[in-house]
Amino acid sequence: MPRVTLQTIADALGVSRSTVSNAYNKPDQLTQELRERILAEATKLGYAGPDAAARSLRSGKTGAIGLLFTESLPYAFSDPYAVGFLTGLAEVAERHGTSLLLVPVDTGLGGTPEADLERAVRQAVVDGFCLYCVDESHPAVDIIRARGLPMVATYPPKDPHLRSVGIDDEAAAFKAGEHLARLGHERIGVVMDRWFGIRPFPPLDLEGPTPIQQVIDLAPGEESTFRLRGYRKALPDADIMVTTAERNSRAAGAVAVEELIDQRCRSTAILAVSDVIAFGVIDALRQRGLTPGQDLSVVGFDDVPQAAEFGLTTIRQPMVDRGRMVGRMLLEPDTIAERQVRLPTELVVRTSTGPRPS
């Protein structure tokens, strides 16, 4: 049997296609009564409404926004920060009747062939993209650019034309470092993750603890080194060693901190670049019978919901608001004047930090 289209309904009722179209898209343009007759006929004939693809093609609108997301969805969903962000983004999207298209991108770890990923970005029927922790140098970003779609990044990009919602990473990290400085700490360990955002570059591999300045010099201009810079600035004379966690997870944080704890002259404080990593650090301490905030101070970054439960001193950065703001920049671009929005951060002191043990 032939497919039921707008025309089918129009013919059945002896009206024009435009009128049927209006019944769905511009209810005010026709009488209530006609509209209902049309909708009833549609239901009767099993017509589900205007075809989505045809509508998108003709109108140029799709009713969806794309989210360029880490390839590893299970990891992404178990990251409380990502969940908070998505929550905010989804809230705004929903208000606009807009769906979210998750487009996984290559993390550089291989897996999906690059061609497939680019194909997914080309084929995505969306009105715009959010780059979630995906670096602007990723090839997928060039495709979005060529498609002429609006996009918003989740961190301050190098390209001044690219809109973004971020924080001042250096200033935020400075607050964390300053807090430790006030408490008298002079030997500090930093646990960062292996990734400077998702990109086609090889990840960072440090062989054991490395002096902070050396790491900063390795990747100038990257988001993660901005944090290192902030730490360094607040603690100019401290002995700061950096280790990397395999990924941004609790377990990896616990592993990564081991070499810092088990050193003979161990640090008196640990700065973790995320709360999730900090939780792992705390696990490792407890496992060794050490008490966070007494034997060793721990500072996180993010202030995810679980941080309170851990008594974790950390830097609060907006999660849900960041998602909301990205959503607004994509869906209500005219309401936001700035190209690069910086959200506020704040030091939250809990029990995981204390004065340097004497």
The minimum distance between CB 30 and DNA, in angstroms, equals 3
Binding partner selected for residue 22 from its own copies, DNA, none, CB under the kind-specific 5 to 8 Å limit: DNA
Please name which of 277, 279, 258, 260 lies closest in space to residue 269, comparing C-alpha atoms.
260
User: Under the rule (CB under 8 A), what is the footprint of its own copies?
Assistant: 46-57, 60, 62-64, 66, 71, 73-74, 77-78, 80, 83-84, 86-87, 90, 94, 97-104, 112, 116, 119-120, 122-126, 143-144, 146-148
Binding partner selected for residue 135 from its own copies, DNA, none, CB under the kind-specific 5 to 8 Å limit: none
Binding partner selected for residue 175 from its own copies, DNA, none, CB under the kind-specific 5 to 8 Å limit: none
The minimum distance between CB 124 and its own copies, in angstroms, equals 6
Are 9 and 38 spatial neighbours (Cβ–Cβ below 8 Å)? Answer: yes
Please name which of 118, 91, 230 lies closest in space to residue 173, comparing C-alpha atoms.
230
The minimum distance between CB 73 and its own copies, in angstroms, equals 4
Tokens of 71: 């390839």
Q: Is 5 or 210 the residue whose CB approaches DNA more closely? A: 5
Binding partner selected for residue 116 from its own copies, DNA, none, CB under the kind-specific 5 to 8 Å limit: its own copies
| Angle value at C-alpha 348, between 277 and 326, nearest 5 degrees | 75
Are 64 and 127 spatial neighbours (Cβ–Cβ below 8 Å)? Answer: yes
The minimum distance between CB 29 and DNA, in angstroms, equals 5
Please name which of 116, 114, 145, 115 lies closest in space to residue 128, comparing C-alpha atoms.
145
Q: Is 54 or 308 the residue whose CB approaches DNA more closely? A: 54
Binding partner selected for residue 104 from DNA, its own copies, none, CB under the kind-specific 5 to 8 Å limit: its own copies
Please name which of 248, 245, 250 lies closest in space to residue 189, comparing C-alpha atoms.
245
The minimum distance between CB 45 and DNA, in angstroms, equals 12
Residue 119, C-beta contacts closer than 8 angstroms, at least 6 positions apart: none
Q: Is 50 or 300 the residue whose CB approaches DNA more closely? A: 50
Residue with tokens 């991108």: 105
Tokens of 198: 């998702």
